[in-house]
Amino acid sequence: MTALARKPHRHETASQNAANEAFAADVIAGLTATPKRLPPKYFYDSVGSELFERITSLPEYYPTRCEAEILTAHAKEIADLFPKGAALIEFGSGSSTKTRIVLSEAKTLAAYVPVDISAEFLHQQVEGLRQEYPNVAMLPVAADISKPFRLPDSAEMLPRAGFFPGSTIGNFEPHEAAAFLRHAGRILGRGATFIVGVDLVKDPQILQKAYNDSQGVTARFNLNLLARINRELGAKFDLAAFEHHAFFNRERSRIEMHLASLKRQRVKVCGECIDFRAGETIHTENSYKYSLESFGALARGAGWSPVAVWTDADNYFSVHALTLKDDPAEARDRADH
């Protein structure tokens, strides 16, 4: 039986209500700010997660292909870095496609803990993983990876390794990325290995195309944020009156995604009137691109020691292996002073 098919328990309904309230509060805060913005974590409802899966196989979207190339070439080296009998904790697991490359080589792994904000999608994925890897305990956690969350009790007892592929770390501001690495350090603990996928700075034309695909899937992914606000918060955004914009901001080394209003308009959201000028945008996502050195420095600043780094043949993407020698609380104190 899937999470979709059964009647929700009362505590689940309560947590769903709390999630709805947080969504409404973030939407109103973002749309009444100047400039307008919306947090990218809200892209990933079930429609957005499906659209993102489609993005990952687009010809222009190189990160997924390049990262899979790296993981396939180095799966054994990576798996050898995991402690015996470890729990592998994946932050933002999605469809766990890349994890499968590593899981197939990690013969001594005791448990896999996929953590993802999209509960429905997560539970659907775990059904399949249980069949494919019967010797690995599947312990899903539906949570926002950027906030503290509890590991299942059976994973608490095991040595841990972390996996954060896909360059999702690039969707954080650099100071948030450092805070995330420290937070992951607190979850994974001293001595842990952390495998992190990081997109690299490259020819802006390649970057530009990756976020402006010819089939318009990225545009639909971006616009789904407004569709989700309509569905879940009862707003009346006219999707035809907004356009997807994505461009490389060289100075800040990031792709920016926006939704541009095609006309002057007013939209009612949760009882608030939100006014748009023609051409005004809602900033929906940043995707930072690092060099090998700049990411290494960021990781060191958050208490992690780089142990290895691999890139694809074109040097478009990188996979970093980090280890935590320090106590994460001490690293945080050092960074704060």
Residue 49 binds ligand AVI, judged by CB under 6 A: no
**Which two structure tokens, joined as six digits, stand for 5?**
């098919």
Please count the CA atoms within 13 angstroms of the CA of 75 that sit on its side-chain side: 15
According to DSSP, the residues that pair with 163 across neighbouring strands are 90, 195
Binding piece for ligand AVI, criterion CB under 6 A, among 3-11, 96-104, 167-175, 187-195:
167-175
Nearest in space to 103 (alpha carbons), one of 163, 22, 146? 163
Structural contact between residues 138 and 99, judged by C-beta atoms closer than 8 angstroms: no
Q: Rule CB under 6 A: which of 260-319 touch ligand AVI?
A: 285, 287
Q: Report how many residues bind ligand AVI under the rule CB under 6 A.
A: 11
- Per-residue DSSP letter, 47: H
Q: Rule CB under 6 A: which of 204-223 touch ligand AVI?
A: 211, 218
Binding mask 61-100 for ligand AVI (x = CB under 6 A): --x-------------------------------------
Distances (CA, A) of 165 to 4, 120, 195: 27, 21, 7
User: Binding ligand AVI by CB under 6 A: which of 31, 38, 55, 115?
Assistant: 55
Which C-beta is closer to ligand AVI: that of 86 or that of 101? 101
According to DSSP, the residues that pair with 306 across neighbouring strands are 322
Which C-beta is closer to ligand AVI: that of 180 or that of 211? 211
The nearest distance, CB 286 to ligand AVI, in angstroms, is 8
Q: Rule CB under 6 A: which of 179-198 touch ligand AVI?
A: none
Structural contact between residues 141 and 151, judged by C-beta atoms closer than 8 angstroms: yes
Q: How far apart are CA 302 and CA 194, in angstroms?
A: 12
Which C-beta is closer to ligand AVI: that of 100 or that of 209? 209
The nearest distance, CB 333 to ligand AVI, in angstroms, is 30
Q: How far apart are CA 334 and CA 192, in angstroms?
A: 20
Residue 167 binds ligand AVI, judged by CB under 6 A: yes
Q: How far apart are CA 163 and CA 98, in angstroms?
A: 10
Binding piece for ligand AVI, criterion CB under 6 A, among 69-77, 168-176, 225-233, 263-271:
168-176
Residue whose token pair is 């997807």: 244
Residue whose token pair is 């503290």: 148
State the residues that interact with ligand AVI by CB under 6 A. 55, 63, 166-168, 170-171, 211, 218, 285, 287
